[in-house]
Amino acid sequence: MKTYTLAELADQFKLTLENCHHPETVISGVGTLQNAGLGRVTFLENKSYLKYLQNTKASAVILSEQHKSNSNVPVLISKNPYVSYAKIAELFNHRSLPEAGIHSTAVIGKNCEIHESARIGAYCVVGDYCKIGPECCLYPHVTLYDEVILGNRVIIHSGAIIGSDGFGNAHTGTHWLKVPQLGRVVIGSDVEIGANTTIDRGAVEDTVIEDGVRLDNLIQVAHNVRIGAHTAIAACVAIAGSTKIGKYCLIGGATSISGHLEICDQVMIGGMSAVIKSIHQPGVYAGPPVAQKKMDWQKMTVRMRHLQDLFQRVENLEKKLRDENGHS
């Protein structure tokens, strides 16, 4: 097992080592503030975990300058502790990607272009005319329909389905008529797609996932959606068709986004929000009511039913006051 001293970690990742009498202390792994022991390095990013800092048994903590005085163990000071932790944790990541090549159980369609360095796992299905770039990794049971294009270093986790038909149906008056989905799915470089996420092909033009996007598990991306570079979307988000999401956005879990909307760059949306209008200004947005006691929720629900009546009564009173003032 590879080990590093605190001094080596500080030097390699340009961190400032303080409160340390033994820079040669050996680090053999990472851990949490609560459970890390000797030989482990941990980190503090979220202020809600400050309560664990003073009692941590870790050999060192990665944190920002403002929190160093709260630590009783050596600290590695970073401008972005979570990023520094990610880089250090990678040193101890012993789970390697599958070997380059196509697994014997994978099914590959006709006229595909698959780079020799790509990794196609067991029981993957790759449709006709797909293009898979260098160092891509498809974990077992990934399905690419026809004409899916992957850039470089794309990682797709098990169960994901890319390029299935979008939900296109026209009603004739008596029954539904399927609308052909003629576009593709085009995915840029350095994208990661979580397990069981689905991305529909475009109806006419392409569905596009730009460079550096991160999609969590169980996300639905409908036809003709475009997701801007370096946007990250948490699990169970549903994005309806033809919506455009900008660059560097963060979208919380279980958020639902209506179709044909535009969300500009650098928007943060809280989990379980319902986005039904376009967002044209960067910032933080949130939609749902917070969890509350059932009795309080029931009272609020009953009152909500009477809001229209209350509004009408107030409007009538205002009209009456205007009429009286007009005649006085």
Active site residue 223: yes
d(CA 217, CA 219): 6
Exposed/middle/buried for 300, CB within 10 Å: 0-12, 13-18, 19+? exposed
User: Which residue(s) pair with 177 in the sheet?
Assistant: 170
d(CA 282, CA 16): 34
- 44 close to 61: Cβ distance less than 8 angstroms: yes
Strands 4-5 and 26-27: antiparallel
Can you give the three-state secondary structure of 24-62, one letter per residue?
A: CCEECEECCCCCCCCCEEEECCCHHHHHHCCCCCCCEEE
- 124 close to 138: Cβ distance less than 8 angstroms: yes
d(CA 76, CA 57): 15
Backbone angles phi, psi at 167, to 5 degrees: -85, 80
Selected catalytic residue, list 21, 171, 223, 260:
223
Residues acting as catalytic residues: 223
